């Protein structure tokens, strides 16, 4: 598990340790590290995170933040979007033993890194070394912090599981088409599986409810990704066998939607659209209602 992170606090506050001022004749790097330790971690830019992580400073708090940025931006990288190679390099070059402390985080980061394409050689070599050194995936797997989805999955009939397998197979081919051959050969399951979509939607509902005790860092861009996952579930439901009707999955989705609705308010001004945008282009009126609501308790504010 990662440690609780309050983005308004500095590394000095989070770690409970204030460093003395550096000597006047010290290097610019040392001065910069001291200064960055006194800045709120939520205000640190990716290049500043990379500088601190490369120096192994504040890893229990900064690795989750950096990994979330990398995971959030990975889907767009294959489509030609910008990706922070320097931050990726800083993260994947940490001592492999570091990841033994963060098995869930390592598992999530692994799945994101495996989808990346056209990395520069110096980063690609380190990324492959990172993938080969990771500890085993966490036993909680895709359903971590999603007990209701897990319970439903264990009770699904074979016909529904077969339909889900077909959806996952189609998604896997999409994801494999975006990566280089040597990575493609290792991909045996999609990053964004049907189970992942349901579990992510349940976790979002839980994040916005009172009493959420999760300790992972969650950004507003991750919120947008979760809304995109809800969009994808519309296609999943259409692909299910007709006889499913009001079966377990539709009932689960209805309950999760109700929980989301109960923790949000109408947002006619689309106040979050600058930070959380739908991946699919289309008329505003065709978007799901989740894009037209905002959380009562914003999960990305700690």
pLDDT in tens, 162-193: 889 999 999 888 878 876 676 677 778 887 88
Asked if 115 contacts 78 with a C-beta cutoff of 8 angstroms, the reply is yes
Of 21-30, 95-104, 127-136, highest mean pLDDT = 21-30
Q: Which of 43-52, 89-98, 160-169, 177-186 has the lowest mean pLDDT?
A: 177-186
Paired tokens of 183: 């990575």
Give yes or no for residue 137 having a pLDDT over 50.
no
pLDDT confidence of residue 61 = 87
pLDDT band at 108 (very low <50, low <70, confident <90, very high): confident
pLDDT at position 177: 81
Q: How confident is the model at residue 1 (pLDDT cuts 50, 70, 90)?
A: very low
Question: Which comes out higher in pLDDT, residue 190 or 301?
Answer: 190
- Using pLDDT thresholds of 50, 70 and 90, give the confidence band for residue 217: low
DSSP symbols for 33-92: HHHHTTSBGGG--HHHHHHHHHTT-SHHHHHHHHHHHHHHHHHHHTTT----HHHHHHHH
- Within 8 A by CB and 6+ apart from 282, the residues are none
What number is the average pLDDT over the span 114-123? 79
Token code pair at residue 228: 């995109």
Please give the mean pLDDT across all residues of the chain: 83
Residue 227 predicted with pLDDT over 90: yes
Q: What pLDDT band is residue 2 in, cutting at 50, 70 and 90? A: very low
**Strand blocks (E) in the chain:** 264-266, 293-295
pLDDT of residue 24: 85
Q: Are 154 and 169 in contact (CB under 8 A)?
A: no
Measured CA angle at 166 (ends 165, 167), to 5 deg: 90
Ordered by start, the domain boundaries in the chain are 11-133, 141-301
* CA dihedral of residues 220, 226, 230, 233 (deg, nearest 10): 160
**Exposed/middle/buried for residue 262 (C-beta within 10 Å: 0-12, 13-18, 19+):** exposed
């Amino acid at each position: 598990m990662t440690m609780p992170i309050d983005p308004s606090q500095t590394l000095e506050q989070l770690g409970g340790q204030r460093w003395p001022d550096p000597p006047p004749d010290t290097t610019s790097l040392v001065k910069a590290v001291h200064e960055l330790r006194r800045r709120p971690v939520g205000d640190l830019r990716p290049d500043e995170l990379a500088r601190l992580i490369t120096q192994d400073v504040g890893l229990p708090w900064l690795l989750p933040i950096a990994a979330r940025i990398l995971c959030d931006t990975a889907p767009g990288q294959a489509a030609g979007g910008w990706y922070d190679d320097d931050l990726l390099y800083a993260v994947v070059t940490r001592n492999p033993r570091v990841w033994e402390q963060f098995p869930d985080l390592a598992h999530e980061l692994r799945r994101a890194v495996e989808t990346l394409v056209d990395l520069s050689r110096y980063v690609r070599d380190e990324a492959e070394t990172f993938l080969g050194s990771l500890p085993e995936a966490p036993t909680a797997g895709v359903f971590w912090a999603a007990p209701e989805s897990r319970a439903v999955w264990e009770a699904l009939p074979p016909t529904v599981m077969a339909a889900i397998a077909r959806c996952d197979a189609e998604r896997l081919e999409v994801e494999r088409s975006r990566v280089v051959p040597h990575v493609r050969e290792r991909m045996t399951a999609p990053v964004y599986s049907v189970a992942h979509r349901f579990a992510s939607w349940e976790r979002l509902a839980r994040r916005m409810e009172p009493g959420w005790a999760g300790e992972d860092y969650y950004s507003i861009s991750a919120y947008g990704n979760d809304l995109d996952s809800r969009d994808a579930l519309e296609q999943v439901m259409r692909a299910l066998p007709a006889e499913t009707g009001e079966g377990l999955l539709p009932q689960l989705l209805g309950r999760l939607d109700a929980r989301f609705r109960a923790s949000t308010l109408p947002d006619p001004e689309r106040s979050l659209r600058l930070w959380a945008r739908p991946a699919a282009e289309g008329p505003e009126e065709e978007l799901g209602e989740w894009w037209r609501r905002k959380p009562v308790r914003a999960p990305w504010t700690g």
